[in-house]
Amino acid sequence: MLVLTRKPGEKILIGDDIVITVLDARGDSIRIGVDAPRGIKIQRSEVVQAVAEANAEATGASGADDEQRLVLSLGKLAPAPAAEPATQTE
C-alpha cells in the first residue's frame, strides 16, 4: 500500500486516466473527489460489504440446499431417455 500525505487541492494520479483530488480536510476526515472513466466502478467498501452480507442472508439456504435444488433443476431439463428400438420376432 502506498501512503501519501496531501493537502487540500493536491492531486494523486492513478494510471493515465484516474485523478484523485483532496477537496477538504477537517478533523479526522477528508473529502476527496475521484475523476475516472465511466467504465471504472468506484464504490465504498462498507457499502459493497453490506450488500454482500444482505444477499447472503436473503438467500438463507445452505450449500447443501443449493446443490439439491440444482440437481433437481437439472433433472427436469434432462431429455427423456430414448425408447428402445422394437425388435421383430419371426
Cα separation, 31 vs 29, in Å, equals: 7
Contact 34, 42 (CB under 8 A): yes
3-state secondary structure of 56: helix
Identify whether 87 is part of a domain: no
Number of domains in the chain: 1
Q: Residue 75: is its pLDDT beyond 80?
A: no
Range of the domain at 19: 11-65
Rounded CA Rg of the chain: 28
Identify whether 78 is part of a domain: no
Per-residue pLDDT tens for 18-45?
999 999 999 999 999 999 999 999 999 9
pLDDT score, position 70: 75
Cα separation, 36 vs 40, in Å, equals: 7
Average confidence (pLDDT) over 35-62: 86
Identify whether 59 is part of a domain: yes
Identify whether 90 is part of a domain: no
Identify whether 4 is part of a domain: no
- With 0.85 as the threshold, say if the pTM is over it: no
